[in-house]
Amino acid sequence: MYDIAVVGGGPCGLACAIEAKNHGLDCIVLERGNVVSSVAGYPVYMVLFSTTDMLEIGGLPFISGDCRPTRLETVRYYWRAVQHFEVPVRSYREVTDILPASAGFMLHTRERLTGEEPVVFAKRVVMATGCYDRPNLIGVPGEELPHVSHYYREPFPYMGRRVVVVGGGNSAAEAALELSRFGAHTTVVHLHPEMDRTVKPWIGAELMTRILKGEITALFNSRVQSISSQALTLVAEDREDTVSVEADFVFLMTGYRPNTDLLVQAGAALDESGFPKHNPLTMETSVPGLYVAGAISEGWRVTQANIEKGRFHGKRIIQSIDGDQ
């Protein structure tokens, strides 16, 4: 019987486990992939918007060649934190069920590499599973085709090809810019008349410069109606007519939503947006002893800033547990 089982080995889950260890609590971290897999899934050459001091966990200094670290530096830092604090991570261990048990919870798990199904018992459970496993589907024919993706990694496979990026946020803007820099014939499609205000100013400025120069094509006020193997059919929102755009590859950068299946199964209530209701002071859900940390608790305010804020959720959780004991 562990004092705490943390589901999710991202930055916020690791920060919670470190805080638990510092307070003498016996914990385990259960991660369905490898540690900080969400950060590892960022575009390969990405530079984070957050500065190194805003990403630190457990008080461990984050040393980088620049104040804003690369994806690689960030992944390396969090792995160093796992080693430094001896965080008890069980990677490739997927939690399949969370059920009430005597004085706590019973977690059914599955070893993804061996197929074994160990059971874990814990007095309390912290869900820190992030918000990037489930992309927001746009629900059009062709979305499931093999040349369509909701995740962008690197530009090299698309050099010289026709690529359409759908979306108006920072991820869409950065993907379009990098694709254009490396020779892809890039088109941006967005529902609204301009890119979102969440786009970083320097990213937005370069994107607009390339659009004005004709290096990137922008189709605003446009909605995807369908996707075929070689083209997208768009509807112009202000005219209701359609246009066809040729594409070898399509990136649907339309955001992500949390996987709340385990929380619902455990009895946690969700709000109208589908995020778990919780006490913001203690991070406890409607189920006593079941907590949330990081992006899964943040509603529609999901950004990279969730690491900046979510790394402190563990302190709130452990302080509330200390107060109950």
pTM: 0.89
Q: Indicate if 233 and 143 belong to the same structural domain.
A: yes
Residue 65 is predicted with a pLDDT of 85
- Give the structural domain span for 177: 137-252
Q: Indicate if 34 and 91 belong to the same structural domain.
A: yes
Residue 302 is predicted with a pLDDT of 53
CATH code, domain carrying 29:
3.50.50.60
Per-residue confidence of the chain (325 residues) as pLDDT tens digits? 999 999 999 999 999 999 999 999 999 999 999 999 989 988 998 888 889 999 999 999 999 988 899 999 999 999 999 999 999 999 999 999 999 988 899 999 999 999 999 999 999 999 999 888 889 999 999 999 999 999 999 999 999 999 999 999 989 999 999 999 999 999 999 999 999 988 889 899 999 999 999 999 999 999 999 999 999 999 987 777 899 999 999 999 998 888 899 999 999 999 988 889 999 999 999 999 999 999 888 765 555 447 788 899 999 999 998 766 5
Residue 246: CB atoms within 10 Å: 12
Give 205: exposed, middle or buried? Use CB within 10 Å, 0-12, 13-18, 19+: exposed
Q: Indicate if 235 and 284 belong to the same structural domain.
A: no
Q: Indicate if 216 and 144 belong to the same structural domain.
A: yes
Q: Indicate if 55 and 159 belong to the same structural domain.
A: no
Of 229, 252, 275, the residue that ends a domain is 252
Of 252, 280, 302, the residue that ends a domain is 252
Q: Indicate if 12 and 127 belong to the same structural domain.
A: yes
- Tokens at residue 204, please? 């937005």
Of 252, 268, 285, the residue that ends a domain is 252
Q: Indicate if 124 and 13 belong to the same structural domain.
A: yes
Q: Indicate if 174 and 232 belong to the same structural domain.
A: yes
Domain count, the chain: 2
Q: Indicate if 263 and 218 belong to the same structural domain.
A: no
Residue 299 is predicted with a pLDDT of 62
Q: Indicate if 11 and 108 belong to the same structural domain.
A: yes
Q: Indicate if 123 and 11 belong to the same structural domain.
A: yes
Q: Indicate if 188 and 52 belong to the same structural domain.
A: no
